[in-house]
Amino acid sequence: MTQIEVTGRAFVFGDNIDTDLLAPGHLMKLPAEDLARHCLEAISPVFAKSVQPGDFVVAGKNFGLGSSREQAAISLRILGVGAVIAPSFARIFYRNALNLGLPALFCDAANRIVEGDQLMVNPVLGKIVNKTRGETISCKPIPDHLMAMVRAGGLVAHLKSRRGT
- CA distance readout (Å), 157 to 2, 99, 124: 18, 9, 20
For residue 63, tell me if it sits in a domain: yes
Whether the predicted pLDDT of 1 surpasses 60: no
Is residue 33 assigned to a domain? yes
Taking only the tens place, the pLDDT of each residue in 64-107 is 999 889 999 999 999 999 999 999 999 999 999 999 999 999 99
pLDDT of residue 2: 44
Q: Quick check: is 165 in a domain?
A: no
- Sheet order of strands, 56-58 included: 104-106, 83-86, 56-58, 6-12, 118-122, 127-130, 135-138
CATH number at residue 91: 3.20.19.10
Q: pLDDT of 22-78, one tens digit each?
A: 999 999 999 999 999 999 999 999 999 999 999 999 999 999 999 889 999 999 999
Model confidence at 132: pLDDT above 80: yes
- For the chain, give the number of residues: 165
Residue 3 has a pLDDT of 52
* Residue 17 forms part of a structural domain: yes
- Into how many domains does the chain fold? 1
Domain of residue 132, residue span: 6-160
